[in-house]
Structure 1
Amino acid sequence: MTTSKTTVFLTGATGYIGGSVLARLLRHPSAETFDITVQTRSPEKVKLFEKFGVKAVVGTNDDVDQLEGLAEQAHIVFSCADADHLSAINAILRGLRKRHATVGDLPTLIHTSGTGVISTPAKGMFASDTIYSDLNVEQIKSIPPEALHREVDLAVVDANEKGYANTYIVLPSTIYGFATHQLVDAGISNPISIQIPSLIRPSLDRKQAGVVGAGKAIWPDVHIDDVADLYIVLFDSITANPDGVGHGWEGFYFGENGEHTWYDISKEIARTSVELGVGGTDEPTSFTDEELIKYWGSVDSGNYSGTNSRCRADRGRSIGWEPKYTTKDMITSIKPTIEFLLEKARK
């Protein structure tokens, strides 16, 4: 007797999060029953994906007709490419809507957002008292429509409300650590985060660790392995009991296991920079407005690393997610990240 395949479409497979999720699907106990398709910009990577039994097509988030068609063919879509690409998510949703109308099943969308959606400006000068719980639906509903990532998140929830897909949103926080899996080893996926390196690179360039304001604002943090595990715990819970897992407005899943001030990160960059002979003192100095523009394109963009974003991943824990890494591990990860970036710059 042949088991019918579960069709999966995953975007962002060459990225830090998407690659880590795909690697876990390939190692999943039910991996033999998955029929996985991904997108890649690189024709060369199509062949590399095929070696892992993954179908790959050349395309990007801007290829909306392709996205719509691939989503229509999939029972489960993992959207891991871009939290703010509205036309891409709308194309995926059109595909899922068509699938529901023609095949008659209720497809699943697991979309990647981020805790930037609850971030509030502070310019690094104070910590916020407001802490969000993903089990508090009214609090989640109260996030303003103009918040970062929110426009896309609302489109995803709307699909659930209209009843043609069950939708779930994973919201990672400050992600850290090296992705170490078979797709990184094969040169397919990105091994490193964007967030902490975006503070390290300017610090290396100015030969002095920098911080926005006084670095007093607070953010949550989570290791890449724990984030990827959250997607799989969620996927397994949906597979085992779709009615028992919150979706739509009850389908927001924060990714956090502890929190830090921005100063904590900048202080460790400063300490490590001195230790490695990069230069500067072991105390970070505030970025000037000119530096915020130089390194981030605008003062507002630079001040993002001085915002508050506080939350608790209660919903993920309620379905069995058990993150292992803590804020202490995040601080410890900064030195090898600096060494990696220095080595990359040398090459």
Structure 2
Amino acid sequence: MSPSIFLTGGTGYIGGSVLDALTKAHPEYSLTVLLRNVPPTFKERYPDVRIVEGNFDNTELIASTAADSDIVIHNGNSKHEGSLRAHITGLLRNATAASPRYLIRLGGTSSIADWADPAYYGETNPQVWSDVADLDDLKSLPDTALHRNMEKIIEQAAAEHGDRLKCAIICSCGVYGEGRGPGNTQSGLIPMYWAQIQKKGREGRAFYANSGGNTRSWVHIDDLTQVYLKLVEAAAAGGGNASWGREGYYFTASQEWSQLELAKATGKILKQHNIIDNEEPLKLSIDDIKAMKPGKTTFALYGIYVFACNTRTRSDRARNVLGYVPQSGDLWSYLEGDLMAAVRSEGVQGVH
């Protein structure tokens, strides 16, 4: 019998790509999505996907929909504790040891980012986190670690109900490439970088801090969705070879690059397209980076997190238990496309 799946964040960059991948790989799955706003072409594009209209504050709607589902894929608002608890509450309503339910949640490597240690601002941190070898440390991160509050909710649910609720957290790193879904198709980090550069018009320059050695792991959106797909397939098979519960923690990295490398490549591309005058990246002070407010967040050091700290990870678990082998080209193969999509979205004159 085909599983019933409830997915949130279906118009987002990652959630929409997961939605698209699932419908193409497994049209036999029964798929329900929570949508605050239904895109005009959604029903035509996904005629067999059931829509539940609501938002993350509609916790009883979320719980009741989850109760009718075998698998929940929680994308979207990463800080909304109420929606996550509603997913868990709903899944547990009909879960049994003989017929467990599955929860797959999107987290992020901001949980291991070294934004709290000024010694590594703009410098390389030698630590590379493994989701296998460093699992005990990952489960002992302080409450101040980003995403830690949400991870603890899942950890508690898995510890108390692990016989009938199987949980997994996908901790994605920086993502690049064009999204495949019905809503946002742009990644987060590259547009945020461009948004800071373009504030000074043609005089804007790509930038870094200190040596620019701070390093981030990256993954192409299509490779990331493969991790999701493999986990969903494992859940549909009764758990498969996947790790769940305490060990259900998955990094997704396929490569890593420094901020200086990103700055040099970005400056070259923008200069080639006659968008900026100087391709040489600019070295900024840490105070300049701290003053930046990329994205929509109240986190005071988000500029440091995005542009000056390290998030280095290895996707050991996905490779070992899911057979994950990234297939897409590296960041440099897609950077121009991602940058120009961000430029076009800002309506820069002469760019089409």
TM-score, normalising length: structure 2: 0.87
The SS at the match of 1:78 is strand
The aligned counterpart of 1:40 is 35
The SS at the match of 2:11 is coil
Q: Residue 91 in 1 paired to residue 86 in 2?
A: yes
Q: Residue 343 in 1 paired to residue 339 in 2?
A: no
Contact 1:82 1:112 in 2 (8 A): no
In structure 2, distance between residues paired with 1:132 and 1:239: 29
The aligned counterpart of 1:174 is 174
The aligned counterpart of 1:161 is 159
In structure 1, distance between residues paired with 2:42 and 2:19: 16
**How much identity, in percent, do the aligned residues show?**
25
Q: Tell me the alpha carbon deviations over residues 217-268 of structure 1, each in whole angstroms, 9 at most, x when there is no partner.
A: 1111000000001111122233335264211111001010011111211221
Change (3 A) 1:120 1:290: closer
Change (3 A) 1:298 1:96: closer
One-letter amino acid of the counterpart of residue 154, structure 1: K
Contact 1:49 1:55 in 2 (8 A): no
In structure 2, distance between residues paired with 1:158 and 1:298: 25
The SS at the match of 2:317 is helix
The aligned counterpart of 2:124 is 127
The Cα of 1:47 is off from its aligned counterpart by 5.8
One-letter amino acid of the counterpart of residue 178, structure 1: E
Question: How many residue pairs were aligned?
Answer: 333
The Cα of 1:299 is off from its aligned counterpart by 5.7
The Cα of 1:294 is off from its aligned counterpart by 5.0
One-letter amino acid of the counterpart of residue 161, structure 1: A
Q: Tell me the alpha carbon deviations over residues 97-139 of structure 1, each in whole angstroms, 9 at most, x when there is no partner.
A: 22227x9731100100011111112563321111211112323
Contact 1:208 1:279 in 2 (8 A): yes
The aligned counterpart of 2:325 is 322
> Mean alpha-carbon deviation: is it higher for 254-263 or for 201-210?
201-210
Change (3 A) 1:316 1:261: same
In structure 1, distance between residues paired with 2:39 and 2:107: 29
The SS at the match of 2:95 is helix
In structure 2, distance between residues paired with 1:266 and 1:201: 14
Change (3 A) 1:92 1:246: same
User: Which residue among 273, 277, 283 is the counterpart of 1:276?
Assistant: 273
The SS at the match of 2:191 is helix
The SS at the match of 2:30 is strand
Q: Residue 234 in 1 paired to residue 231 in 2?
A: yes
Q: Tell me the alpha carbon deviations over residues 40-81 of structure 1, each in whole angstroms, 9 at most, x when there is no partner.
A: 121455962684310112211122121111111111000111
The SS at the match of 2:79 is coil
In structure 2, distance between residues paired with 1:85 and 1:212: 32
The aligned counterpart of 1:31 is 27
The SS at the match of 1:146 is coil
RMSD between superposed Cα atoms in Å: 2.3
**Between structures 1 and 2, the one with greater helix share:** 1
The SS at the match of 2:346 is helix
Task: Structure 2: give runs of 5+ residues left out of the alignment.
Answer: none
Change (3 A) 1:165 1:43: same
The SS at the match of 1:242 is coil
The aligned counterpart of 1:150 is 148
After TM superposition, list the pairs within 5 Å mapping 1:1-347 onto structure 2.
Answer: 4-28=1-25, 30-32=26-28, 34-43=29-38, 45=40, 48=43, 51-100=46-95, 105-121=99-115, 122=118, 124-136=121-133, 137-163=135-161, 164-180=164-180, 183=181, 188-206=182-200, 207-240=204-237, 242=239, 244-287=241-284, 289=287, 292-293=290-291, 295-296=293-294, 300-304=301-305, 305-318=307-320, 319-325=322-328, 329-346=330-347
TM-score, normalising length: structure 1: 0.88
One-letter amino acid of the counterpart of residue 267, structure 1: K
One-letter amino acid of the counterpart of residue 224, structure 2: V
Contact 1:166 1:248 in 2 (8 A): yes
